[in-house]
Chains A and B, each alone.
Chain A
């Protein structure tokens, strides 16, 4: 899994910047998150979005089964069933 995530980060470096922005936005908008550290370590919402971003990148490469596997894990672990084909951020509409 570590190798898979690493390869995704290398193939699509923009994901790392997205993760930074997600972390900041989660801390700013969620009043229950007191700090960046808390968001990074303990926020299931942030973890779910980070997992979705990896799944979305994999889905974009045409590896649908693996992307759906990550979607399933995301739903199971973090309680967020986000389809890997949908777009989160910088778009008009989001389907979750």
Chain B
């Protein structure tokens, strides 16, 4: 899918900027969206190491070349390169901030893919008293049972 052929937006390699990525995205997609975004929110072309909240591009650039090569190899080999990128960012963030590591570990690193991660995350957020887990499970089990054995309904 052509969607994943262009470099991911937050991974800035040495010499690359968000602006150059936006231009590349414009050429790829053929829209003016990137240019508008560029005008709306100008992003520093060079990232200063003194700026607060070091960006991910700096984190990536500070990685050893072998680490980056491993990531590229992983992205090529993976069936879900987007999730591999999310996990890579999660590992980097978890290594930098131990207090956030638990949250990141639970929400991202312990999950096999975006499907299970999104499912658990949304289920936790949307869990309300109006739709108790037991009731939902009972309905599902009964539904499956009735579907497989229609005489039980009578």
Q: Contact residues of A with B, CB < 8 Å?
A: 1-7, 9, 16, 19-21, 23-24, 27-29, 31-32, 34-37, 40-41, 47, 50-51, 54, 69-70, 73, 77
Contacts and interface: CB of A to CB of B under 8 A. Distances in A.
B105 to A, nearest CB: 12
Majority-rule SS of A interface residues: helix
A31 B37 contact: yes
8 contacts: A5-B118, A5-B119, A9-B119, A27-B8, A27-B10, A41-B121, A47-B121, A69-B131
Contacts of B25: 28
B126 A36 contact: no
Contact of B55 (A4, A16, A34, A51): A34
Majority-rule SS of B interface residues: helix
Contacts of A28: 9, 25, 34, 37
A7 B8 CA distance: 30
A35 B56 contact: yes
Interface of B: 3, 8-10, 25, 33-34, 37, 40-41, 43, 55-56, 80, 82-83, 85-86, 89-90, 93, 103-104, 107-108, 114-115, 117-123, 125-128, 130-131, 133, 136-137, 140
Contacts of B122: 1, 5, 47, 50-51, 54
A31 B42 CA distance: 9
Nearest to B83: A20
B119 A2 contact: yes
B32 to A, nearest CB: 12
B37 A1 contact: no
A50 B8 CA distance: 20
Most buried by B among A20, A23, A32, A50: A20
A14 to B, nearest CB: 12
B128 A73 contact: yes
